[in-house]
Amino acid sequence: MTMPAVPPHQPPFAPPSPPRADPSTNGTAIASVIVGPIALFNSAFVPLPFIGFVAVFAAFPLAVATIILGHFGLRAAQRYGVGRVMAVVGLVVGYLAIGIILATATLFFSQFLFIRTPIAS
């Protein structure tokens, strides 16, 4: 008895390669430039008496997101060579918004240090 012919060995199926990022754009840097002015605009309302309480809850997360996106944009700019200026602009605007929020909070809470309560006699 003879053995049946063995079919030729086929190479294993290779999964498709993931799509490569387009090196001509830097999406995270663009996102930081878009979100940054929104955070800065919201942080401008933080010093206002009643609107500021609501604005700080919108401005702070947006400013943090801008800073995170700016840092990711810088990392992508080092890798692909595009978008460095946009990432730096996003970082500057994000840190400026955080600075406004923190300065307003510092001034607000420092007011409690100077309140004099009369001593009851």
Q: Read off the pLDDT of residues 20-79 as tens digits, 9 standing for 90 and up.
A: 666 778 899 999 999 999 999 999 998 888 888 888 899 999 999 999 999 999 999 999
In the predicted model, what is the mean pLDDT of the chain?
86
pLDDT at 77: 93
pLDDT at 113: 76
Alpha helices in 81-116 (DSSP H): 84-110
Prediction pTM value: 0.74
Query: Residue 63 CB: number of other CB atoms within 10 A?
Result: 27
* Mean pLDDT to the nearest integer, 91-105: 94
- Asked whether residue 108 carries a pLDDT value surpassing 90, the answer given is no
Distance CA 29, CA 89 (A): 9
